[in-house]
Amino acid sequence: MPSRRSDRQDRPVVVLVGMMGAGKTSVGREFAGRSEFVDLDKLIEQQSGRTIREIFETDGESAFRKLELQALRDATTSGHYKVISTGGGIVTTSESRQLLQEMDVFVVWLTASNEELTRRATKSGNRPLLDHDPGAKIEELMNQRAPLYAEVADLALNTQGLSVKQVAQLVEEALKHHVADGKAAP
């Protein structure tokens, strides 16, 4: 995939995508270090004054996706380096996919087996899409979303069996390659 990096910054904004439970928030915090870290779900909650669950229950998923797109725009507009953790469904709208492809960002798709994603995602209990039969829902969502993640990703990285620190190091190595060569890492 050709680079979307411009010469106006040394490091592109890093955007982590993937299913719930893939490790986007944990890896994002670790990888960001002292740099700015933005959790899009938290940003949406701050901007709307409601929880993600409340937005889903009151306004529905399509309304949430509009808020998500605006939060992504807001988070990527400043020219300074940061790490952004997205919600698992960010790729479900063509507008969000287009924005991810057009922006000067390095998109990393974090993944794991469906069983591992289910185990991780059900720990918090705060996943509106997993209220009924989480394993089947994860499988259904992964089947729908995997091609969409692949469409926007500069790097796909399986997090299964790796520590958060190890994943963050792999992302760092890939980003260095991406910046040095002006193209996505293999």
- Examine the pLDDT at 160 and tell me if it is beyond 50: yes
Task: Look at residue 8 in the predicted model and tell me its pLDDT.
Answer: 35
Could you tell me which of 23, 67, 18 has the C-alpha nearest to residue 159?
23
Six token digits for residue 55? 């937005």
- Examine the pLDDT at 184 and tell me if it is beyond 60: no
- Examine the pLDDT at 131 and tell me if it is beyond 70: no
Tell me if 109 sits within 8 A of 17, measured CB to CB.
yes
The arithmetic mean of pLDDT across residues 88-107, rounded, is: 92
- pTM for the whole thing? 0.87
81 or 19, which is more confident? 19
Q: pLDDT tens digit string along 75-92?
A: 988 767 899 999 999 999
Task: Look at residue 43 in the predicted model and tell me its pLDDT.
Answer: 93
What residue ranges define each of the domains in the chain, with the CATH number in brackets? 13-179 (3.40.50.300)
Query: How much of the chain, in percent, has pLDDT values that exceed 70?
Result: 87
Tell me if 96 sits within 8 A of 90, measured CB to CB.
yes
Task: Look at residue 186 in the predicted model and tell me its pLDDT.
Answer: 38
Task: Look at residue 148 in the predicted model and tell me its pLDDT.
Answer: 97
Lowest mean pLDDT among 2-6, 66-70, 115-119, 150-154: 2-6
Task: Look at residue 119 in the predicted model and tell me its pLDDT.
Answer: 85
Lowest mean pLDDT among 8-22, 54-68, 85-99, 110-124: 8-22
Task: Look at residue 182 in the predicted model and tell me its pLDDT.
Answer: 66
The arithmetic mean of pLDDT across residues 97-121, rounded, is: 91
The partner residues of 179 in beta bridges, in order of sequence, read none
Mean pLDDT, rounded, of the chain: 86
Task: Look at residue 104 in the predicted model and tell me its pLDDT.
Answer: 82
User: Rounded CA gap, 34 and 90, in Å?
Assistant: 25
What region does 49 belong to: left with phi over 0, alpha with psi -120 to 50, or beta? left
State the DSSP H helix or E strand holding residue 111, giving kind and residue range, or none if neither.
strand 105-111
Task: Look at residue 79 in the predicted model and tell me its pLDDT.
Answer: 65
